[in-house]
Amino acid sequence: MAQYTPPLRDMQFVLHELLNVVDELKQLPAHADVDADTINAVLEEGGKFASQVIAPLNQIGDQEGCKLDKATHEVTTAKGFKEAYLQYVEGGWPALSCDPAFGGQGLPHVVNQCMYEMMNSANQAWTMYPGLSHGAYEALHAHGTDEQKKLYLPKLTSGQWTGTMCLTEPHCGTDLGLLRTKAEPQADGTYKITGNKIFISAGEHDMSENIVHLVLARLPDAPQGSKGISLFVVPKYNVTPEGKIGSRNGIYCGGLEHKMGIHGNATAQMVLDGAVGTLVGEPNKGLAAMFVMMNAARLGVGMQGLGLTEVAYQNAVAYAKDRIQMRSLSGVKAADKPADPIIVHPDVRKMLLTARAYAEGGRALSIWTTLLLDKELSSEDEDERKDAADLVALLTPIVKAFLTDNAWISTSHCMQVFGGHGYIAEWGMEQFVRDARINMIYEGTNTIQSLDLLGRKVLADNGAKLKKFGKIVRDFVEEEGTNEAMQEFVNPLAELGEKVTKLTTEIGMKAFQNPDEVGAAAVDYLRVCGHLVFGYFWARMAKIALAKVDGGDPFYKAKLHTARFYFAKLLPETATLIRTARAGAKPMMDVEESLF
């Protein structure tokens, strides 16, 4: 079975040495009293929960999956899942970054994000239950009526109830404008909702007393398409005005999907048969309200990718040090053994360091993005809120798509380190790969993320948001301009920055003539931007490591090596990506449909 050790040291490095989060948070009245000790203590406890409580359930969840009783429509989760959830609730973990007005602990998102990385390393399928709940909390917190907040937020905050997002229908996933679920207004102000939803993660289970579904549906007179969609809260059990559990509502699980991975999470087909719901936000503006949830969820999916990358790396390193096989090409290394440990082989190291560089780069990027989210939500300065919001908007599709694509690459590499043993369920490596695959699909496929980045976040404002990030990179490059030791890092970073600027302009010009040029370049473009962000953080991390490496702490030595590896072996992917992005739409769009 796979093992997991929370990477507390590296989290502390990013939080305190790279990003100085405590100083940053001091500027935000809501978090001004958060100190480093608090953060570290929370993460240490959180790490224990992840590694000791839910990590041991990961393989069980994969093997047992979830079971639906077709007669009662009730779903039983894998052995131990419910008990772990009760422990999670007792520990107060759901409340970590929730609003104190509803029982939350009010800690910054940045702490919660680290907690989620660890939980996803330990058990992604399990973590999706509280993860979805938190999304429902965010949407109701942002758009719910006072009555809805009063009824639902305390229970979601305590974790007594969980939540879901009910968007997808059999004929529509990406294109929610096509959705057909109907909401009929009732005399008492509620709505009766009827329709079929599919792919509802955590849609039904036995872990909480009630499940708060957030459901997209159409009002009778709604305009066609995406401008006619409204958001409703539809609890599994109706809730009395006093907040007590009432009668069973007409929303139930009609089936569970058999999936490639995340078997421990119930992916439910939900049938709404005149289910009673109340409107969240304004009529026909449900998509916008849902996007509050969706943006949080996208950062959350990035954490799933990061978590899997980290845990796959840890296990592959342990195996590579232990497994002996063949001799090093450059001479015997372990003369006392019949063969050398496979970590002596350059390609094994290349696979390991790829995962490591992607994990540590991803950690820096995602913690920074979440710190910006805390500023966007809590800063008292309007300009700072705007700047932070712009950067979060720009970075969110990168966190989602780049980190999950990297996780696919990394988990597959780490599995490869195990040779044939990687393909066998016993070791747990192939589960990481299967679990990692969904993260490239849900909450908007990675192609959709790339269109969001290039189309909406970059080209739509003529690159204004991108320039904000570009300035941060340029300032850093200039700052290090005379630092000889930093040239190996800042030179390729500066070069890539210039190439991104040129590439953006070029695609923008071509897109004027033919909008398909955006669709043709977007996926390559997102990965180029991902490397720009990673290049920036690896250069900054290298700077810190250079300053401290002589102190003898091997952590900084390792950091410096990984930075060098990143620039030598991973960032050069941009050479191809820029070429293929520039090759444009013609090679795809010239082909008549009938020729496929």
Which residue number, 32 or 178, has a Cβ lying nearer to its own copies?
A: 178
Tokens of 397: 């599709």
Distances (CA, A) of 325 to 281, 340, 443: 62, 6, 42
Q: Give the span between the Cα atoms of 8 and 19, in whole angstroms.
A: 15
Q: Give me the least distance between CB of 221 and its own copies, in Å please.
A: 19
Which residue number, 32 or 575, has a Cβ lying nearer to its own copies?
A: 575
Q: Give me the least distance between CB of 457 and its own copies, in Å please.
A: 16
Q: Give me the least distance between CB of 419 and its own copies, in Å please.
A: 5
- Whether the CB-CB separation of 224 and 287 falls below 8 Å is answered with no
Which residue number, 29 or 225, has a Cβ lying nearer to its own copies?
A: 225
Could you tell me which residues come within 8 angstroms of residue 424 by beta carbon, excluding any fewer than 6 positions away?
430
For tokens 């502390």, the residue is 12
Which residue number, 159 or 261, has a Cβ lying nearer to its own copies?
A: 261
- Whether the CB-CB separation of 390 and 464 falls below 8 Å is answered with yes
Cβ atoms within 10 Å, residue 501: 15
- Whether the CB-CB separation of 235 and 210 falls below 8 Å is answered with yes
- Whether the CB-CB separation of 130 and 156 falls below 8 Å is answered with no
Distances (CA, A) of 449 to 166, 519, 588: 20, 11, 20
Q: Give me the least distance between CB of 31 and its own copies, in Å please.
A: 35
Kindly tell me the burial class for residue 495, based on how many C-beta atoms sit within 10 Å of its own C-beta (0-12, 13-18, 19 or more).
middle
Beta-ladder partners of 163: 212
Which residue number, 182 or 468, has a Cβ lying nearer to its own copies?
A: 182
Which residue number, 434 or 468, has a Cβ lying nearer to its own copies?
A: 434
For tokens 């044939």, the residue is 420
- Whether the CB-CB separation of 365 and 534 falls below 8 Å is answered with yes
Q: Give me the least distance between CB of 402 and its own copies, in Å please.
A: 16
Q: Respond yes or no: is residue 24 known to be catalytic.
A: no
Which residue number, 383 or 590, has a Cβ lying nearer to its own copies?
A: 590
Q: Give me the least distance between CB of 222 and its own copies, in Å please.
A: 15
Task: Select from 429, 448, 406 the least CA-distant residue to 305.
Answer: 406
Q: Give me the least distance between CB of 155 and its own copies, in Å please.
A: 29
Could you tell me which residues come within 8 angstroms of residue 24 by beta carbon, excluding any fewer than 6 positions away?
371, 375
Query: Of 204, 443, 480, 517, which is the active-site residue?
Result: 443
For tokens 């979830």, the residue is 66
- Whether the CB-CB separation of 468 and 390 falls below 8 Å is answered with yes
Instruction: List active site positions.
Output: 443
